[in-house]
Amino acid sequence: MSVVIVNWNGGSDLAECVTTLHRGVGGRVDEIVVVDNGSEDDSLERLGNPPGVTIVRAGRNLGFAAGVNLGARRSSGRLLLLLNPDVRVLPGTIDTAADYLDAHPDVGIVGPVLVDARGGWQPSAGRFGVLGHLVLDTRLARRPIRRTRSVGWIHGAFLLMPRTLFEAVGGLDEGYFMYGEDIDLCARVRTAGYRTVLVADARAVHYGNRSGAVRWGEARDAEVVKGEMRFYAWTGRWWELGLFRFIAGLKFSMKGAFQAVTGDFGAARRTWRAASACASFVPEPKAHRPRAG
């Protein structure tokens, strides 16, 4: 297995992530490839030179998708694990996920249940289809995940798949700078005839979009929404894009109003930015095509 970690100003997260890998994965991981997207902090200095780690310096911020593809090209494992630096892999998680993948040849991608630092449930997967996603994937509708099941897509914080399939579908689409590329990848894997599965017995701690918060601040939620809308636009789902704009815009507007009334003005500003993005988003021409990792 090759683990590919894309780092951009990850602070102490990067070193802590690699440390948990060394402690908790046994002999399953053959190499760890860290792609540094031109970090300006001391994250690489904090990482040092641990054994089994290759550092690839991109020299600039390529974005998540291009960074992953670069790391995949510099690696050689039969399995590829895409891992965010703000994830802490719990003991047994990688073995559990890899064993499930190997035992089910019709499965192309697996991921774990993501939890926060206190063990609370985080979004780990999503549904294809606007109504299902915006209604059933919300915080209010989420329930603890107690069984392994097929899903539409999983979050790219921890995404495990065979290298041959990653290359066959063209790797990550580099038209996505950050957000939306995991949805797009899972959609292409499904088109290729494989399932995406959330493995209930595999758990990982996700501290949650730290690099995104550093880069975009209060606009991070809006960027997530734009990533989803790019997916609908670039895959020709125009009626779904229109439905997403309407429902998500209404949802975020009402949520922002509630947050403002209850005095959570910081959250309200972030939510209203997402609502504004639904109204103002104009999809860019699809200049990039997926290419082999």
Q: Which tens digit of pLDDT belongs to each residue from 186-242?
A: 999 999 999 999 999 999 999 866 665 566 567 788 888 999 999 999 888 889 999
Using 50, 70 and 90 to split pLDDT, how confident is the model at 143?
A: low
pLDDT for position 105? 96
Cβ-in-10-Å burial (0-12, 13-18, 19+) of 171 comes to: buried
Strands 79-83, 107-115: pairing kind: unpaired
Least confident of 5-9, 29-33, 97-101, 127-131: 127-131
User: Is residue 269 within 8 Å of residue 257, measured between CB atoms?
Assistant: no
* pLDDT reading at 274 higher than 80: yes
Residue with tokens 């290359």: 167
pLDDT for position 145? 75
Please give the average per-residue pLDDT across 76-99, as a whole number.
93
Q: For the segment 162-187, what is each residue's pLDDT rounded down to a tens digit?
A: 999 999 999 999 989 889 999 999 99
Strands 31-36, 2-7: pairing kind: parallel
pLDDT for position 283? 82
pTM: 0.90
pLDDT for position 85? 94
Cβ-in-10-Å burial (0-12, 13-18, 19+) of 59 comes to: exposed
User: Is residue 148 within 8 Å of residue 197, measured between CB atoms?
Assistant: yes
pLDDT for position 293? 34
pLDDT for position 209? 60
Please give the average per-residue pLDDT across 126-148, as a whole number.
76
The share of the chain scoring above pLDDT 90, in percent, equals 62
Please give the average per-residue pLDDT across 33-55, as a whole number.
92
The alpha carbons of the chain give a radius of gyration, in whole angstroms, of: 18
Please give the average per-residue pLDDT across 256-283, as a whole number.
91
Fold held by 2-208: Spore Coat Polysaccharide Biosynthesis Protein SpsA; Chain A (3.90.550)
* pLDDT reading at 72 higher than 80: yes
Joined together, the tokens standing for residue 108 give 């192309």
More confident residue, 139 or 184: 184
The share of the chain scoring above pLDDT 70, in percent, equals 90
Please give the average per-residue pLDDT across 120-144, as a whole number.
76
User: Is residue 129 within 8 Å of residue 58, measured between CB atoms?
Assistant: no
